[in-house]
Amino acid sequence: MVSKKRKSFYVLVACAYIVGVEVFLRMNGGTIFYEASKYLVIVFICMGLVSNSFSNKSLVYVLYLLLLIPGIFVAVADMGFDTNIRKAIAFNLSGPVCLGISAIFCYKRTISFRQIQTVLDAFLWPLVSMLGYLFLYTPNLESVITGTESNFATSGGFGPNQVATVLGIGIFILTVRFFMYKTSFFIKVSDLILLGLFVFRAIITFSRGGVLTALLMILVFIALYYLKVNLKTKLKLKGYLLVFLGLIAITWFISSVKTGGFIDKRYANQDAAGREKDDVTTGRTDLVEFEFAEFIDNPFLGIGVGKVKEERLDETGVVAASHNEISRIFAEHGLLGVLAFLILLITPLVFRLNNKTNLFFYSFYLFWLFTINHSAMRIAAPAFIYGLCLLNISYENTSVHRKQISQ
């Protein structure tokens, strides 16, 4: 990154690797502190911003960051600036700040298709390490799968939601490699094997959010890619698609057998006895309703950064962190949070109207939007991947032909 050439590219590669390894390090206590990966991504991107120019239009994300500041003062005024509030602010704002900095850096920045391939691979390889660890952590699945709830034992002893989310990234990247990369037959087969293993481990976490988000990303990617390529490539894609669907079907069958049919009940929203559950969101709806109620009661500046968890404990006696970044930012920042979220929601879509070079735009954008709805911003992945959807991508000698964009 300190080299003069291609600094932007190396910043993205370094950040992608850190984001890819974050959950693996957390599950093994391998970080200096819990939010270290987000801070490291921020530091790397700031190194790139210091020496590289950025688009003036990306200043809208500076406004987004400024809108988050009043919530800090509201929290401090209410609680006093002690150790707990500092931790609460750091925990709740590290993700949004990481997102804002990533968006400023990536907005209208151009990299080549070959470079985005390398960035995606930098995501993937630490996830392969985590995949191997997951198999070693639970060699005997039958002994730990006894119901349809999210399973920590099959998730390396860590949060199934976060593990399934990053495994979903791996599933998407391997799908992109299989359909787009010009590789040898051996590499294609290797990618397919890895893809099957990733899908299997993601499914048996019993956390549906990451798996369904990955499925949506893949559907959008394949549809857009199919529309953009020539007839010869379309015929090849149809063959690949049959192989891909066959692999997914086989993997699901194996997952069903290994889990004693519990995974089928999980995705059918049933309990272990086969009874349909009342709440498909496993309690998340109650959390969202509580946070929107706090927003209604405190509409202007909100209740302050990090206060939702404390307010919920005081009113309900239940300790539960937010799973939804949208309702959390509304509750903690009020109308300023609404404006901040609208900036995040609308700006990429406006960008997309004038620039359609990024084939992965909708996949990345939807990953951010759906992940913050079921897992908030507990990990750096949605923040950094949101930034990636704002990149320009230039294509040379690929089946996707687009006009070269000047650096």
> How do residues 284-343 score in pLDDT, each as one tens digit?
787 888 888 889 988 888 888 888 777 777 777 666 667 789 999 999 999 999 999 999
Question: Quick one: pLDDT at residue 400?
Answer: 55
pTM (predicted TM-score): 0.92
Token pair, residue 318, equals 């239940």
Asked if 375 and 95 touch (Cβ cutoff 8 Å), the reply is no
Provide the phi-psi class of 82: left if phi over 0, else alpha when psi is between -120 and 50, else beta.
beta
- Using 70 as the pLDDT threshold, list the residues of the chain that sit under it: 4, 79-86, 278-283, 317-321, 397-407
Question: Quick one: pLDDT at residue 401?
Answer: 47
Per DSSP, which regions of 176-276 are E strands? none
Question: Quick one: pLDDT at residue 336?
Answer: 95
Residues 6+ apart with CB under 8 A from 119: 9, 12, 13, 16, 111, 388
Closest CA to 222 of 382, 115, 391, 360: 360
Question: Quick one: pLDDT at residue 320?
Answer: 67
Provide the phi-psi class of 73: left if phi over 0, else alpha when psi is between -120 and 50, else beta.
alpha
Question: Quick one: pLDDT at residue 52?
Answer: 77
Asked if 195 and 249 touch (Cβ cutoff 8 Å), the reply is no
Dihedral of the alpha carbons of 260, 144, 173, 15, in degrees to the nearest 10: 160
Q: How far apart are CA 37 and CA 25, in angstroms?
A: 9
Q: How far apart are CA 97 and CA 235, in angstroms?
A: 44
Domain residue limits at 58:
7-394
Cα-Cα-Cα-Cα dihedral sign, residues 99, 104, 107, 111:
negative
Closest CA to 204 of 127, 162, 258, 265: 258
Q: How far apart are CA 53 and CA 105, in angstroms?
A: 9
Report if residue 73 sits inside a domain. yes
Number of domains in the chain: 1
Residue 318 has, within 13 A of its CA and on its CB side, a CA count of 8
Q: Which is it for strands 392-394 and 110-112: parallel, antiparallel or unpaired?
A: parallel
Tally DSSP H helices, then E strands, for the chain.
Answer: 16, 2
Asked if 31 and 37 touch (Cβ cutoff 8 Å), the reply is yes
Closest CA to 39 of 386, 379, 397, 372: 379
Report if residue 265 sits inside a domain. yes
Question: Quick one: pLDDT at residue 359?
Answer: 94
Token pair, residue 47, equals 């190194």
Report if residue 296 sits inside a domain. yes
Report if residue 206 sits inside a domain. yes
Burial degree of 184 (CB within 10 A; 0-12, 13-18, 19+)? exposed
Asked if 274 and 219 touch (Cβ cutoff 8 Å), the reply is no
Report if residue 2 sits inside a domain. no
Q: How far apart are CA 405 and CA 116, in angstroms?
A: 15
